[in-house]
C-alpha cells in the first residue's frame, strides 16, 4: 500500500491517541469536580466547565453522563492532583501535573522517565517557583470589540487578551479564575474551553537540535502516561 498509506495510518493513530488522552483527562476532571462540588452543574462551576471542555473535545454525551454517574457513586475512585518537578537533560525545567488514584505508582513512573531520559526529579518547589500559573479561557471571537472587552474584564482579573484565528484567549492570574469565569458568564459569553497554563519566568535558550530532541523525548514520554494531565517546560 506504500508510504502514503502508512503515513495516513500513523497520523490517524496519533489523532486517536490524542483523543483518548483528552477523554481520560476530562473524565478525571469530572470525577474531581463531582467530588469537590457534587453532580449538579447549576451549582458546580468546575463540573460545568469540565462538561464544556468535553463538548469541545467531541467526547460522546453518554461517556460524559457515565463519568458523572460513576463519580457520584459511593464506590467512586479517589483522584488526587499532584505536581512533580525536575530537570530534563541540558538543564531544562519541567513541571508535571497529574491526576492519579495511586500516587505511589505515579511518582515511580515519573521518576523512571526522568532517570531513563537524562533528567532528574527535584524536590517540591525546586522548579515550579519559576513558573506563573495562569487561568486561560477560550471563546469564539464573534463580533466582540477586543479593546472594549478587555476594559470590561479588567476588574475581574483579566491580565491579557489574545486573538488566535477565530478564538479569543483570555488570561488571568490563577487566583482570579473564578472571578473571570463568572464575569464571562454574566456577559453571556459561551466558554469553549477553560484550562490553565504554567508560564516560565525565563527560558532555556541556545540548545542544539540534538539537545532539544533529548528534552522532547522526555516530554513525549511523560505526556504518554495516563496519570499525567499537563507537562510544562521552559525550553525555547
The 3-class secondary structure across 157-176, one letter per residue, is: CEEEEEEECCEEEEEEEHHH
Average pLDDT per block of 10 residues along the chain, 236 residues long: 40 55 92 95 92 93 95 92 97 98 97 97 95 97 93 96 95 96 93 95 95 96 95 96
Say what the pLDDT of residue 20 is.
82
Task: Enumerate the CATH 3.30.70.980 domain ranges in the chain, comma separated.
Answer: 79-236
User: Do 56 and 26 form a contact (C-beta atoms < 8 A)?
Assistant: no
Task: Enumerate the CATH 1.10.10.200 domain ranges in the chain, comma separated.
Answer: 2-72
Note the helical H segments in 78-139. 103-116
* Residue 45 CB-half CA count within 13 A: 12
Say what the pLDDT of residue 21 is.
83
Say what the pLDDT of residue 17 is.
55
Say what the pLDDT of residue 227 is.
96
The CATH class of 2-72 is mainly alpha
CA–CA separation, 222 and 230 (whole Å): 9
- CATH number for the region 79-236 comes to 3.30.70.980
The pTM of this model reads 0.86
Amino acid at each position: 500500500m506504500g508510504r502514503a498509506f502508512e503515513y495516513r495510518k500513523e497520523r490517524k493513530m496519533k489523532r486517536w491517541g490524542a483523543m483518548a488522552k483528552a477523554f481520560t483527562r476530562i473524565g478525571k476532571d469530572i470525577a474531581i469536580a463531582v467530588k469537590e462540588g457534587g453532580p449538579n452543574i447549576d451549582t458546580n462551576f468546575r463540573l460545568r466547565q469540565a462538561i464544556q471542555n468535553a463538548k469541545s473535545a467531541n467526547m460522546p454525551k453518554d461517556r460524559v453522563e457515565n463519568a458523572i454517574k460513576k463519580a457520584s457513586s459511593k464506590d467512586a475512585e479517589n483522584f488526587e492532583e499532584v505536581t512533580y518537578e525536575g530537570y530534563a537533560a541540558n538543564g531544562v525545567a519541567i513541571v508535571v501535573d497529574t491526576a492519579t488514584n495511586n500516587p505511589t505508582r505515579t511518582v515511580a513512573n515519573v521518576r523512571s522517565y526522568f532517570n531513563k531520559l537524562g533528567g532528574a526529579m527535584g524536590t517540591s518547589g525546586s522548579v515550579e517557583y519559576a513558573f506563573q500559573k495562569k487561568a486561560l479561557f477560550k471563546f469564539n471571537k464573534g463580533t466582540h470589540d477586543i479593546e472594549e472587552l478587555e476594559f470590561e474584564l479588567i476588574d475581574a482579573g483579566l491580565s491579557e487578551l489574545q486573538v488566535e484565528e477565530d478564538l479569543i484567549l483570555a488570561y488571568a492570574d490563577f487566583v482570579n479564575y473564578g472571578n473571570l469565569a463568572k464575569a464571562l458568564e454574566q456577559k453571556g459569553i459561551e466558554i469553549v474551553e477553560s484550562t490553565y497554563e504554567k508560564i516560565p519566568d525565563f527560558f532555556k535558550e541556545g540548545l542544539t537540535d540534538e539537545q532539544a530532541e533529548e528534552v522532547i523525548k522526555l516530554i513525549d514520554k511523560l505526556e504518554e502516561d495516563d496519570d499525567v494531565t499537563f507537562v510544562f517546560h521552559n525550553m525555547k
